[in-house]
Amino acid sequence: MSVIALTPLELAFGGAFLSLVVGICVRQFGNSSFVNRSDFDTAMQTMKKNNEIQFRMLRAMVLYLPVDDAVKKEILNERGSE
């Protein structure tokens, strides 16, 4: 029984080839597609609009919290940290 000894370079090329074959198969048979820029921009605008609505709703709820007025002012005047 003979053992096949492969060099690291041969293993690297074999791995690259196998990775290429798997990538092509996934692309062809997986029906994956990229998002075009206009769809991305539309989705981002929708998300920003929804986040703005939720932010305003949360700010309105702060008024009814059972906390001191000073704490309410601090919460309402706080800017988002990024």
pLDDT, tens digit (0-9, with 9 covering 90-100), for 25-56: 888 887 767 788 899 999 999 999 989 888 88
Residue 3 lies in a domain: no
Residue bearing the bigger pLDDT, 42 or 1: 42
- Integer Cα distance of 31 and 34 in angstroms: 10
The single-letter code of the amino acid at 67 is V
Residue 2 lies in a domain: no
Whether the pLDDT of residue 82 is over 60: the answer is no
Give me the number of domains the chain comprises.
1
| DSSP 8-state class, residue 55 | H
Q: Using one digit for the tens of pLDDT, what is the confidence trace for 59-69?
A: 888 888 898 88
Residue 47 lies in a domain: yes
- The closest alpha carbon to 47, from 39, 57, 36, 59, belongs to 39
Element counts in the chain: helices (H) and strands (E): 3, 0
Residue 1 lies in a domain: no
Instruction: Give the structural domain span for 19.
Output: 8-77
The single-letter code of the amino acid at 37 is R
Residue 44 lies in a domain: yes
Per-residue confidence (pLDDT) for residue 81, from 0 to 100: 55
